[in-house]
C-alpha cells in the first residue's frame, strides 16, 4: 500500500513540475512576441535617419515645391501650341464663302477662301483669296486669338447684261480679325476684315471678310 502511495505521489509531483515548465515557456513566448511588436523597426529607423533617406526627402520636397501652379509657366506653354491643325468652314456677310485653314506653325497659318457674291440686277462676283496669317492669344481670355496677315486676291465679275464683258482683276489683300476656339468642342468662330488693293480695276475694295464658323480637327 505504501509503495502504491509513493508511486502516486511521484507521478503527481512529476505532473506538477511539467505543468510549471510549460507555463514558463508560454509566458516567455508571449513576452518575446509582445517585445517584437512594440520594438521599433531597424529598417524604418535607418530609413529615416540615414543621410540617403534625408537626401531623398529633400529631393521629394523640391519636386513638390517645383510644381508649376495654375496660371504659371505650364499655361504659358499652352499658348505656344496651335489651337487646332486644320479647319473647314463657311463665312458670310459679303456674300458666301467656303474656307480652309491649316496651321503650319503654332502661331502661323495658311487660309484659302472661295467667295460667291451676287449683286442683284447687276451681276455675280466669284473670288479666290490665299492668306498667310500670324495669330496670337488674347491675354486673359482663354480660347480667343487675334490674327493679321496678307496674301493674294483674284476676282471674276460677270454682268447680268450680256452686252457688257466680264472683268477679271487681281491684287493684294490684308486681314485683321479675331478667332475663338470653343473648349472641348471642334468648333471655332471668327470675324475679320480683309481690304483689297486691286492692281487693275477699281483700285481699292473694303467689302471683304465676314463672320465665319469652322469645324476644327
Q: What is the 3-state secondary structure (H, E, C) of 137-197?
A: ECCCCCCEEEEEEEEEEEEEEEECCCCCCCEEEEEEEEEEEEEEECCCCCEEEEEEECCEE
**Per the domain annotation, does 147 fall within a domain?**
yes
DSSP helix, strand, coil percent of the chain (3-state; round to 5): 30, 45, 25
pLDDT at 169: 93
Q: Return d(Cα 29, Cα 40) in angstroms, integer.
A: 19
Please calculate the CA angle 210-190-85 and round it to the nearest 5 degrees. Answer: 125
- In this structure, the answer to whether residues 56 and 149 fall within a common structural domain is no
Looking at the fold, whether 7 and 101 belong to one and the same domain comes out as no
Q: Are residues 185 and 108 in the same domain?
A: yes
- One domain, residues 94 and 56: no
Bridge partners, residue 173, by sequence: 151, 196
Residue 71 lies in a domain: no
Tell me: do 207 and 169 sit in the same domain: yes
Residues 115 and 195 in one domain: yes
Are 112 and 137 members of one domain? yes
Same domain for 92 and 172:
yes
As a whole number of angstroms, the distance between CA 127 and CA 114 comes to 6
pLDDT at position 120: 84
What's the CATH number where 189 sits? 2.40.160.20
Averaged pLDDT, 21-45: 47
Q: Looking at 40, 65, 90, which one is the last position of a domain?
A: 65
Enclosing domain of residue 11: 2-65
| Overall pTM surpassing 0.85 (yes/no) | no
Q: Which of 14, 31, 65 is the last residue of a domain?
A: 65
Contact assessment for residue 190 and residue 211, using Cβ atoms and an 8 Å cutoff: yes
pLDDT at 126: 96
DSSP category for residue 40: P
Which residues sit opposite 90 in a β-bridge? 98, 213
Shared-domain flag, residues 44 and 133: no
For residue 140, is pLDDT > 70? yes
pLDDT for residue 129 is more than 80: yes
Give, in degrees to the nearest 5, the angle at Cα 94 between 92 and 98. Answer: 45
Domain tally for the chain? 2
Boundary of a domain, candidates 35, 65, 95 = 65
- Burial annotation 146-164 (CB, 10 A radius, 16+ → b, else e): ebebbbebebebeeeeeee
With a cut of 90, say whether residue 22 has pLDDT above it: no
CA–CA distance, 27 with 33 (Å, rounded to integer)? 10
Give 189 or 6, the one with higher predicted confidence: 189
Is 113 a domain residue? Answer: yes
- How confident is the model at residue 43, as a pLDDT? 44
208 and 144 co-located in one domain: yes
* Same domain (yes/no): 101, 154: yes
Amino acid at each position: 500500500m505504501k509503495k502504491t502511495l509513493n508511486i502516486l505521489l511521484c507521478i503527481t509531483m512529476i505532473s506538477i513540475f511539467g505543468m510549471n515548465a510549460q507555463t514558463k515557456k508560454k509566458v516567455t513566448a508571449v513576452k518575446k512576441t509582445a517585445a517584437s511588436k512594440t520594438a521599433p523597426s531597424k529598417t524604418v529607423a535607418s530609413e529615416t535617419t540615414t543621410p540617403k533617406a534625408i537626401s531623398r526627402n529633400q529631393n521629394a520636397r523640391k519636386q513638390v515645391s517645383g510644381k508649376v501652379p495654375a496660371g504659371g509657366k505650364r499655361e504659358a506653354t499652352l499658348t505656344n501650341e496651335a489651337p487646332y491643325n486644320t479647319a473647314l468652314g463657311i463665312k458670310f456677310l459679303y456674300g458666301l464663302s467656303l474656307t480652309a485653314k491649316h496651321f503650319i506653325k503654332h502661331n502661323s497659318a495658311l487660309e484659302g477662301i472661295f467667295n460667291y457674291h451676287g449683286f442683284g440686277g447687276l451681276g455675280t462676283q466669284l473670288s479666290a483669296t490665299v492668306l498667310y496669317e500670324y495669330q496670337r492669344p488674347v491675354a486673359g481670355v482663354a480660347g480667343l486669338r487675334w490674327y493679321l496677315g496678307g496674301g493674294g486676291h483674284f476676282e471674276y465679275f460677270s454682268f447680268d447684261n450680256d452686252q457688257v464683258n466680264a472683268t477679271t482683276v487681281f491684287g493684294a489683300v490684308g486681314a485683321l480679325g479675331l478667332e475663338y476656339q470653343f473648349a472641348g468642342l471642334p468648333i471655332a468662330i471668327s470675324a475679320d476684315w480683309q481690304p483689297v488693293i486691286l492692281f487693275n480695276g477699281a483700285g481699292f475694295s473694303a467689302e471683304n471678310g465676314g463672320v465665319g464658323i469652322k469645324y476644327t480637327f
